[in-house]
Amino acid sequence: MVQLVSGQTHHFSNRQCLELGFLAALRSLKTHSVIGLMITASHNKASDNGIKVADPSGGMLTPDWEPFADAIANAATPQHLLQLIDEFVKKENIPFDGVRSAEILLGRDTRPSGESLLEAAKQGINSIVDALAIDMGILTTPQLHWMVRARNKGMKATEVDYYEQLAGSFRCLIDLIPNGQKILEIDDKLVIDGANGVGGEKIEVLKKMLNGLLIEVRNSGKGGGILNEGVGADYVQKEKVVPEGFGSKDVGIRCASLDGDADRLVYFSVPSSNSNIIDLVDGDKILSLFAVFIKEQLSVLRTEGDEKIGDNYQTRFGVIQTAYANGASTDYLKQLGLEVVFTPTGVKYLHEQAARYDIGIYFEANGHGTILFSECFLSWLESRYNELSSKNKELEQHKAALRLLAVSKLINQAVGDALSGLLLVEAILQHMGWSIHNWAELYQDLPSRQLKVKVVDRTAVVTANAETMVVRPPGIQDAINAERIFTCHTAKYPQGRSFIRPSGTEDVIRVYAEASTQEAADSLASSVAKLVDQFLGFGSSR
């Protein structure tokens, strides 16, 4: 998706929404498909706002159109804007034949500025001939993306349809839990931090449709709390402390935190009543939980005892991470025998890579991610399920096939979705009979540290190998390697790993380091930051 975020001084932001309305209508006409526009600034502060564009798949706007989006958002005058649009329409051969119409679904989160920005987007859409803007109301970002995907697949696509699909798939997974599996009694309750955003109120609606899941929602936005301030997945994941409204009363209870527009999810537990520090269960461990469960179902599906049933589809199952994924999570996934692939930082790269597999899972540590299933695999899975149904519905293979089909409907394949992800986590924990503590102990995270170094020109740094190696300026990668790996044939930083990458928005270089101890990770990050300053800093002559 294109995402533009700005402060609330709102002439400029209204203009952005107007112009992205133009783009969405043109994209709809070009693709003969439904397009989505979501007014949100996600996990950013309440005074910010922005807009996201959803393509026909429900995912991101194609990269081919991103330069046009940037150009119209920065057009100096109305005349320049019209010229850009006219040139682009001719270049893309966009039809205005009166036969095809553009359809754009609009949604917004709970920010006060959302209503006026949505009206500006409507004006932009309505300025294009044969374009129709449909206001879907206040939604989570993933709900709108789900609706766009569903509409373009010819499915029902209202908010009620979204709830019914999630709730029905969740109930199916719960009904298939093996006999005797039971989470410890203290973990029966789930407490959710809604970030004072739109996700809290949507959970309240959804939980009425669920059986066997005791949910309490805090920071729902109704108690006067401020959106994303001291609450939410971004705050919890970065600060590793309890959000507002949580504390000693929650020791031992399973807790989860959404971000402001509910496309990120992390879990946590409060280990002690004497501290506000939490035990974080981040996106890496959500990914690992999903991978364990799916691998188990695939293994069951392939065999029933010693008997082979039907053809064995060679499922390509991949796990996609960025260099920011904790090294311990990568080691754990590889030990499971899974194929782990790295991409540059950014959901668009992760999503694209995941789509190359029959089953592709991606998650960032911040809790944004999803699972993708190929149409070919789902077609085979449906066929296998029907074959097994005709033979014996009590076969474990039959149950495994049904579980995987339920997962494909429960997870939001358009985009990362905190609500669908949360329900899948809950179903899998119950299936495994795991408490949050069992889950957290899958592996022990390596301590890490992130730093920023101000530089004259961030574009001087060029990376390769999914941002794990610097190819320009020459010499800096060798210096990082020399610092990181060995000194006198002895590991200076046991399990040490560090990389640098340019920021996408400001003239800083981001430094990431991890090692076996926090002291070592801090030291490695500091040493690499000094190298960055030496090669690229304000005092550097290089």
457 is in an annotated binding site: no
440 is in an annotated binding site: no
User: What tokens were used for 458?
Assistant: 């961030």
Q: Is 460 exposed, middle or buried (0-12, 13-18, 19+ CB in 10 A)?
A: middle
364 is in an annotated binding site: yes
504 is in an annotated binding site: yes
| Residue 175, CA distances (Å) to 162, 211, 399 in order | 20, 10, 10
Which one of the listed residues 13, 28, 42, 169 is annotated catalytic?
Answer: 42
Query: Sign (positive/negative) of CA torsion 117, 123, 126, 128?
Result: negative
Of 72, 68, 63, 59, the closest CA to residue 15 belongs to 72
Beta bridge partners of 454: 508
Q: What is the DSSP letter of 71?
A: H
User: What tokens were used for 210?
Assistant: 């669920």
Question: Is residue 42 annotated as a catalytic residue, yes or no?
Answer: yes
245 is in an annotated binding site: no
User: What tokens were used for 359?
Assistant: 């089953």
Q: Is 20 exposed, middle or buried (0-12, 13-18, 19+ CB in 10 A)?
A: buried
467 is in an annotated binding site: no
Q: Going by DSSP bridges, is the β-strand pair 448-454/189-193 parallel, antiparallel, or unpaired?
A: unpaired
505 is in an annotated binding site: yes
CA angle in degrees (0–180, nearest 5) for 111-204-261: 30
- DSSP string for residues in 321-352: E-TTS-HHHHHHHHHTT-EEEE--SSHHHHHH
7 is in an annotated binding site: no
Amino acid (1-letter code) at residue 205 = V
SS (H, E, C) 269-311: EECCCCCCECEEECHHHHHHHHHHHHHHHHHHHHCECCECCCC
261 is in an annotated binding site: yes
263 is in an annotated binding site: yes
502 is in an annotated binding site: yes
Judge contact between 514 and 446, C-beta under 8 A. yes
Active site residues: 42
Question: Residues forming the annotated binding site for Mg(2+)?
Answer: 42, 259, 261, 263
Binding site for substrate, by residue number, is 364-366, 501-505, 510
Binding residues, by number, are 42, 259, 261, 263, 364-366, 501-505, 510
